[in-house]
Structure 1
Amino acid sequence: MVEASQQPWLSIIAAVIISAVGTLLFSQLAPSLGLVDHPGGRKAHLRAVPLVGGLAIFIALIGTAWFTGIARPAAPFLVAITLVAAVGVWDDFAEVSPRVKLAIQIAAACLMIWGAGVELRSVGDLLGWRSIGLSAFAIPMTVFAVVGVINAVNMMDGMDGLGGSIAVIALAWYAAVAVTSGLTLQWETALILAGAIAGFLLFNLRFPWQPHARVFLGDAGSLMIGFALGWFAIDLTQGPGRTFPPIAALWVIVLPLADCVSLMTRRLRARRSPFEADRQHIHHYLLSRGFTHSQTLGILVLLSSAFGAVGYFGWRMGVPEPVLFWPFFFGYFAYHFWITREWKRLEAAT
């Protein structure tokens, strides 16, 4: 075995290669496994696409974790993410009821709490008075936060390359936080997962020789990535020696969070289920305004990178938490009112 802390680039390269090879292999097996997304309904693709990206990423994560020797110390994380990946594969194969998926997500969050001690005990000093502890609400708020991030990432995975790209950016920022904080296991795990996603993106992004995605993440991938981001957002901000504030962690994943919360709010106001799928995500808006797929992806990747930089460098420069919180708070509402007005205007024009 190779210690990832001694050969960090080797572990990333290994994850990329295992994921890429796994993606190719599982793509060939997808029809016989029943892991194929067929066109129809709201779907933009016109041909059947394998739903095996998540499976390849999972194999790459587990394989590289074993190869680099971090599987044992990272066992609680790997066991919990296995649970999430399993229900995702099950859902890709045969639709699982929302209640079952929710129950598995809650179970994974509970494994995180009691198996690894990763728990949201404080939301930080948001108002400038003192750190706001959650006390008896710590466990339910941890579960709520993790399930929320899982579903925010899952809901945003609606365009070739988008979900994976946003995830790699967020994991890179979280890895930077872990490196700066001296949290070796966390940065090793984050970079291995980022490498695994990068291997999948070779077949999910659009290139001149690849005009459309050859493989999709599937629920296995999006749920797994969402869980990992929720885990790191909490793990890097809680406990002894952790100085990265929770509000800074939220800046790293603000794009899927804001998109999800705004969309669910609009659905509720329209007397619809907040979980009812539609085509009113931020990427749908940009496409409707005439931006190409590549331009839309580029805009959202740049925004995600910039928001992550706000969180990371705000922390490194010692920016007070309220100064990070209030722009986040008012920025969300400004975005919500703007996107709501824009969709109403577009609907009125059609």
Structure 2
Amino acid sequence: MEVARRLSIAFGVVDRPDAFRKRHRGAVPLCGGAAIFATFTIAAQLSATSTLLSPYFWLGLAVIVGIGVVDDLLSLPATGRLAAQVLVSILITGNLPTGSLAVSVLNVPDAPALAPVLFLICTVFITGLINAWNMLDGIDGLAGGTAAVSLVWLIAIATFAGMPDLIQSLETLLVCLCAFLVFNMRSPWRVRASVFLGDAGSTALGMVIACAILLIATSSPLVSFPALLWVVFVPVMDTLSLIVRRILAKRSPMSADRWHLHHLMLDHGVTTSSATHILMYISALCGGVGYAGIRLRVPADIMAAGLLLPISLHTLFVLVSTGCLTRTRLAKSVTKARNLATEQDILSIREPVAVLKGGRDVEREA
């Protein structure tokens, strides 16, 4: 990692602070992702794994990491990066047995008729998770720590599903990721991160985890796709929430801001280290629910419906944190007061002053 840090500094691949979102100190090397996946690639090539490590997977991974490195250096346009990610997702999806997703997960008898829909679902899922992990990478240790938690649960699920090659691949990546977290996650021995993932690392982690989920979902009749969604609930929910709020605010869904879940926590006084740990615990809890559902053979529709609970809790936290809930209640109270004033004014035009005074009192109390 020290060699990667020196090379990153020499070539100017560093992240510099600003007054808007990047509030770290000094220029921090963005070599973490490149180091992780270079080590992962070498280790995987020396092993005999084949399930996850197909030629199409390696090609897609090389493109995602390469684009991430260039983006860290030159800041590529968002639309260009998204287009490349979609092409990679199509390439990988085209070489997955997506037809079995309907048979083993959705229990639809006429799977061939749904082939285009399943292809689209898998493509969107890979592209979405690539960007979800990239958006999650906002504070020290969060993207890497959450990915490590997800990998642990995926290894457990792959063990239950009987997929030894996939287990070995995920274990290799987990070891590489944990080595990086020593330099990225805050601890009693490290005040702040000395290395960042960079876009190369965050996007590649999202891609690998998405591929692992689809491999398990399409290969094992024992595992439902909705149950696997619990393993990646935190990045997926945060991203969907951001997209909705940005669209409602008439902004681009790909624009930068401080509306992420971890930013809301920081704005309410939670420390960086605590925010990382809290979200990792939530991710571990959600992953545990998914794993339990798989082991207990809970039907896919129930696992999907169960996602409504954490979605509701997330939505409530966002509304309270951003003050939207308070403003909504205030607006309703004011409207109610004005309607009451108008009603009373019509019924009794002799007391307009008292009516207006009552209206203001209601608004003040709200």
In structure 2, the partner of 1:190 is 170
Q: Unmatched 5+ residue regions in structure 1?
A: 1-22
Tell me how large the CA RMSD over aligned residues is: 2.3
In structure 1, the partner of 2:322 is 343
Partners in 2 of 1:81 and 1:119 — Cα distance?
23
In structure 2, the partner of 1:28 is 6
Partners in 1 of 2:229 and 2:325 — Cα distance?
30
In structure 1, the partner of 2:251 is 272
Partners in 2 of 1:346 and 1:209 — Cα distance?
40
From the superposition, tell whether residues 247 and 132 of structure 1 become closer, same or farther in structure 2 (CA, over 3 Å): farther
Task: In structure 2, give the amino acid aligned to 1:218.
Answer: G
From the superposition, tell whether residues 243 and 256 of structure 1 become closer, same or farther in structure 2 (CA, over 3 Å): same
CA contact (8 A) 1:124 1:132 kept: no
3-state SS of 2:318 partner: helix
3-state SS of 1:236 partner: helix
Task: In structure 2, give the amino acid aligned to 1:209.
Answer: W
In structure 2, the partner of 1:160 is 140
Partners in 2 of 1:310 and 1:184 — Cα distance?
23
More divergent stretch after superposition (59-68 vs 102-111): 102-111
Partners in 1 of 2:205 and 2:125 — Cα distance?
14
In structure 1, the partner of 2:117 is 137
Q: Work out whether 1:212 is the aligned partner of 2:188.
A: no
In structure 1, the partner of 2:28 is 49
In structure 2, the partner of 1:11 is none
Q: Work out whether 1:295 is the aligned partner of 2:269.
A: no
From the superposition, tell whether residues 226 and 131 of structure 1 become closer, same or farther in structure 2 (CA, over 3 Å): farther
Q: Deviations over 1:57-91 (max 9, x none)?
A: 11111011022233797133222211111111111
CA contact (8 A) 1:125 1:322 kept: no
Partners in 2 of 1:132 and 1:158 — Cα distance?
43
From the superposition, tell whether residues 61 and 98 of structure 1 become closer, same or farther in structure 2 (CA, over 3 Å): same
Partners in 1 of 2:99 and 2:62 — Cα distance?
19
CA contact (8 A) 2:34 2:201 kept: yes
Question: % of aligned pairs identical?
Answer: 32
CA contact (8 A) 2:64 2:200 kept: yes
Q: Deviations over 1:101-134 (max 9, x none)?
A: 11221222122123454678439767xx857954
Q: Work out whether 1:309 is the aligned partner of 2:284.
A: no
Q: Unmatched 5+ residue regions in structure 2?
A: 328-366
CA contact (8 A) 1:112 1:118 kept: no
Q: Which has the higher helix share?
A: 2
From the superposition, tell whether residues 299 and 94 of structure 1 become closer, same or farther in structure 2 (CA, over 3 Å): same
When normalised by structure 1's length, the TM-score is: 0.86
Equivalent in 62, 65, 77 of residue 44 of structure 2: 65
3-state SS of 2:183 partner: coil
Partners in 1 of 2:77 and 2:267 — Cα distance?
32
Task: In structure 1, give the amino acid aligned to 2:45.
Answer: W
From the superposition, tell whether residues 118 and 26 of structure 1 become closer, same or farther in structure 2 (CA, over 3 Å): farther
In structure 2, the partner of 1:15 is none
Task: In structure 1, give the amino acid aligned to 2:260.
Answer: H
Q: Deviations over 1:2-55 (max 9, x none)?
A: xxxxxxxxxxxxxxxxxxxxx211101112222111111321112000000010
Q: Deviations over 1:300-345 (max 9, x none)?
A: 1111101000001111012222221112035314422441242126
Q: Work out whether 1:246 is the aligned partner of 2:225.
A: yes
In structure 2, the partner of 1:103 is 83
Partners in 1 of 2:103 and 2:187 — Cα distance?
41
3-state SS of 1:203 partner: helix
Q: Work out whether 1:81 is the aligned partner of 2:58.
A: no
Partners in 2 of 1:86 and 1:264 — Cα distance?
26
Equivalent in 2, 11, 15 of residue 37 of structure 1: 15
Instruction: Please identify runs of 4+ aligned residues in structure 1 that moved more than 4 A.
Output: 116-120, 123-126, 129-133, 345-348
From the superposition, tell whether residues 293 and 132 of structure 1 become closer, same or farther in structure 2 (CA, over 3 Å): farther
Equivalent in 63, 71, 74 of residue 94 of structure 1: 74
From the superposition, tell whether residues 222 and 64 of structure 1 become closer, same or farther in structure 2 (CA, over 3 Å): same
